[in-house]
Chains A and B, each alone.
Chain A
Amino acid sequence: MTLSLFDQFLSPVVCWIPLVAIAITLPWILFPNPTTRWLNNRSLTSQNWFLSQATSQIFSPINPPGHKWALLLSSLLIFLATMNTAGLLPYTFTPTSQLSINMGLAGALWMGVVILGMRTQPTHSLGHLLPEGAPALLTPILVIIETISLFIRPIALGVRLTANLTAGHLLIQLTSTATLAMLTIMPVTAIFTGILLFLLALLEAAVALIQAYVFVLLLSLYLQENV
């Protein structure tokens, strides 16, 4: 029973064909290229509108040199949001619930941002290790603490996304298993559990979108510091 709860997080393989490739390339299929047409159909129009809104929102506080990251961060947002929301459907595998994918994204992007800051403006980047307005006595300790927090960032980014999604999926599985088990024995309790499942599903939908946005927002904040 306990093992089957984590079966949903196994990388899906059918006849030794890894289906995780299809799961990861799903966003590429759902978001077609902009066309040569002046007026597009509804889905393209809505995608373009949403993307332009999100990009302008995320990049308005960043200096112009940081706007080169617009393509990367906006595509990352779409990628994460699509995969999170697609994972809400039953019998699907959510790639972003795997630590491998999230740590890969978080580590690489965080390191890119930090190295960019250290190369272009090292003094300014290192200056972030000492927050403003701190008393002079605490400087050594603060620097150590800030360095630790700097290096915790990629781990926090990756693990946050993984933990949120994994926890959500697990909860859904548990609640639905409970509902099914109690459906024959105690139907009334099953109904309450069913209502809980409804609310959980709504929460998970919100969490899916919010977590993707938070990931990209934090990366943009780190970029703002360093660019």
Chain B
Amino acid sequence: MLSRLQAISVKVTDPFVSLSLVQASRSLQTSSQRLAPVPPLPDHGGKVRHGLIPEELFEFLYPKTGVTGPYMLGTGLIVYLLSKELYVINHETIYAICIGTIIVYGVKKYGATVAAFIDSINEEKVAKAQAAKDSHISFLTEAIENEKKEQWRVEGRGMLFDAKRNNVAMLLETNYRERQHMVTNEVKRRLDYQIALQHLNRRLQQEHMINWVEKNVISSITPQQEKESIAKCIADLKVLAKTTQAKAAA
């Protein structure tokens, strides 16, 4: 009976009453009394037979009277009340039978539907909270994935820097080579200039010498010599002309 009381006490959720009853039942246990966390509601109420009589009565009477004991007790009670006219059959009895039938029929027919509807109200509440929790969890999981991807990207940054470093080194190398090339060209140009200058000098010297020699030779030629050479040349020319004519006639 105390367990049924406890079950009722948890079902009757008036805080003051339920707390006091829960504390009262807890005094039989050895654990320390705690107010929080709130003990969970039992999933089902106390078991009843025929909708009215708690199962504990049947279990209480079973050892002494067997399975039919409580039924015999009930029948005996009803027969006693009726026979002794402690309960008088009047018009209210007829009405009681009527309304009893209506209530039992209503509960049997619509009980499950109504219970399912009420459970669905609670389940909707839970589903909403669960959906919010799930969406938050999925959002956080996605954020973790994104973070991991970013970390992987950061690893690739080293390769990027290496490539850039290579680029810069190549640019420097190219620049150095270019300048070296330029230096070589400039030096060569200056040396070419010097060579040209020397060539020019030598040529000038040669020409000057040739001119001086020619001038001296020409000035050393006397007029008599000149006449003799001219006469010789004419004689040679005549001879040549004769030979040529002879060759042509032959």
- Select from chain A the residue with minimum beta-carbon distance to B18: A35
Residues of B within 8 A of A198 (CB): 98, 101-102
CB-based contact B122/A176 at 8 Å? no
Which of B38, B41, B89, B98 is close to A197, meaning CB atoms less than 8 Å apart?
Answer: B98
Residue B157 is within 8 A (CB to CB) of chain A in the complex: no
Binary per-residue interface labels of chain A (157-174) against chain B in the complex, 1 for a CB within 8 Å, 0 otherwise: 000000000000000110
* Residue B125 CB within 8 A of the other chain: yes
Q: Are B92 and A176 in contact (CB under 8 A)?
A: yes
CB distance from A186 to the nearest CB of B (A): 15
CB of A44 within 8 Å of the partner chain: yes
Q: Which residues of B contact A32 (CB under 8 A)?
A: 12-14
Judge if A46 is at the interface, Cβ distance under 8 Å. yes
Are A42's CB and B119's CB within 8 A?
yes
B1 contacts which chain A residues (CB < 8 A)?
Answer: none
Whether the Cβ atoms of A201 and B118 lie closer than 8 Å is no
Interface residues of A, Cβ cutoff 8 Å to B: 32-33, 35-46, 49, 88-91, 172-173, 176-177, 179-180, 183, 194, 197-198, 201-202, 205
Known: A49-B121, A197-B94. 8 other contacts (CB 8 A): A39-B41, A40-B41, A41-B13, A41-B41, A176-B92, A179-B91, A197-B98, A202-B102
Give the nearest-CB partner of B11 in chain A.
A41
Name the 10 nearest CB pairs between A and B, nearest first: A176-B91, A90-B96, A177-B91, A35-B13, A176-B95, A176-B94, A90-B92, A42-B118, A32-B14, A46-B118
| Contact with A46, one of B15, B114, B126 (Cβ below 8 angstroms) | B114
Tell me, in angstroms, the Cα distance from A123 to B209 when the chains sit together. Answer: 144
Query: Nearest A residue to B95 by beta-carbon distance?
Result: A176
Closest to A197 in B: B98
Q: How many Å lie between the Cα of A39 and that of B126 in the bound state?
A: 8
B95/A201 in contact, CB under 8 A: yes
A35 near B15: Cβ-Cβ < 8 Å = yes
* Contact (Cβ within 8 A) B122 A45: yes
Contacts of A37 in B (CB 8 A): 13, 38, 41
A74 to B172, CA, bound (A): 89
Q: Does B99 contact A (CB under 8 A)?
A: yes
The answer to whether A180 and B121 touch across the interface, beta carbons within 8 angstroms, is no
Give the CA-CA distance A36 to B13 in the complex, in Å. Answer: 9
Give Cα A177–Cα B114 distance, bound, in whole angstroms.
35
Closest chain-A Cβ to B176's Cβ sits at a distance in Å of: 77
